[in-house]
Structure 1
């Protein structure tokens, strides 16, 4: 019997101003909230089987760090990049983010073998969405 390889997960812990508004934003993008790991201080947004965004109220987030919490509207703390299965799926997700109150970047990456756009969520966190041609990835 062969053991199933361990699937490492990533948990993005993001401070938010308004937890309910942020939950509504990410739900509008098509993601679900895992109620088992959500309460009045945090919401567990399931992006995929291996990616979870933990949206945390700023006071709760502050209990995990002694550092000042960055204002993502003014400083770049991190660029979060998600893959997409096609160019159309890139546009679809960014367009849904804008419709839900996010802000799209005017920059489009399109060197031919890949296509990408980005948006800022309600708290200014930047999310990039990128499609890469499978033939280009294979070499």
Structure 2
């Protein structure tokens, strides 16, 4: 068994932000969601919690995928879902393929994969 991570993000418009993240392919966790918050399943070990609160642009979240194609796919879904790509994916230092996007509230997400190697959680 592994621990589940519940990152919390303040959002200015709960419905808009919920739609954005569902547009990226995350699924609504109906058991945890209610009129005051949206919980979205990113994976079996990560549930993103959106809370209507004053928004700050502190911090940054990174989400690793097994392949470049999956990184490109989620970045391509950002703009149609209401976000924006800040930097297109490209190969960076240490074999990391990485692109950055902002959600509707400006929260930054790095979407990445380790080029040519299985992801093991460390760069």
Whether these two folds match at TM > 0.5 is yes
Aligned counterpart, 1:26: 21
Aligned counterpart, 1:63: none
Q: Does 1:71 align with 2:51?
A: no
Distance 2:84 2:56 in 1: 16
Structure number with higher helix proportion: 1
TM-score, normalized by length of structure 2? 0.86
Trace 1:1-139 onto structure 2 (pairs within 5 A): 6-58=1-53, 69-72=54-57, 77-106=58-87, 108-111=89-92, 113-132=95-114, 133-134=116-117
Structure 1 unaligned blocks of 5 or more: 1-5, 59-68
Whether contact under 8 Å (2:60, 2:108) holds in the other structure is yes
Larger relative contact order, structure 1 or 2 (CA cutoff 8 Å, min sep 6): 2
Whether contact under 8 Å (1:113, 1:136) holds in the other structure is no
Structure number with higher strand proportion: 2
Task: Say if 1:24 and 1:114 are closer, same or farther in 2 by CA, change over 3 A.
Answer: same
Whether contact under 8 Å (1:29, 1:96) holds in the other structure is yes
Range with bigger deviation, 127-136 or 34-43? 127-136
- The Cα offsets for residues 32-79 of structure 1, whole Å up to 9 and x where unpaired, read as 111111111101010000011100011xxxxxxxxxx5532xxxx111
TM-score, normalized by length of structure 1? 0.77
Larger gyration radius, structure 1 or structure 2: 1
Q: Number of matched residues?
A: 118
